[in-house]
Amino acid sequence: DVLLHDKTGTITVGDRQATEFRAVGGHSAAQLAEAALLASLADETPEGRSIVVLARESFGRTADLPAGAEIIAFTAQTRISGIRIGGSVIQKGAVDSILRANPGAGTTAAAAALRRITDEVARAGGTPLAVAQDGELLGAIFLKDIVKAGIRERFGELRAMGIRTVMITGDNPLT
């Protein structure tokens, strides 16, 4: 009488899309978008490409990979990706990973604001990504899951049969 199911790829198409930039620490959404764009230029995932598109559409930001830039590749261990340009480092990734990688930023007012924003994103069913530049938190990116067509109706049919559906996801503990 209960169906447990995963979220990503099961009830969603599996490609999260960036829908909003939420800045913290006195930074503007445009500054956050610019940093997120640079950190995502080499990111070929659907999420990374959607960040580039959102930055371009929302703020008219355009950029090419700067000469001499070093790409920070995403790994399952770090859960962070980004870019090094000269002496500057821009990182984007899971909130807890960004806070761990930038220990001085974790106790700031910006960190408290970031946690509040990321909790709001998670409560809305989204996935938050944090962005930091040179150890300073800039804000979060709201990634929204795209629900597969017909899923709501299918779950309605299951409920009508007396089957309760429960979503299980590994995105973050709150979601």
3-state helix, strand, coil in the chain (%, to 5): 35, 30, 35
DSSP 133: E
CB distance 48 to 15 below 8 Å: no
| Annotated active-site residue in 1, 6, 64, 171 | 6
Of residues 75, 13, 21, the one with CA closest to residue 43: 75
Instruction: State which H helix or E strand residue 80 sits in.
Output: strand 80-85
At 17 the three-state DSSP class reads: strand
Contacts of 71 (CB under 8 A, 6+ apart): 42, 81, 82, 83
Does the annotation mark 64 as catalytic?
Answer: no
Coil vs helix vs strand at 18: strand
Phi, psi of 24 (to 5 degrees): -135, 170
- Which residues have a catalytic role annotated? 6
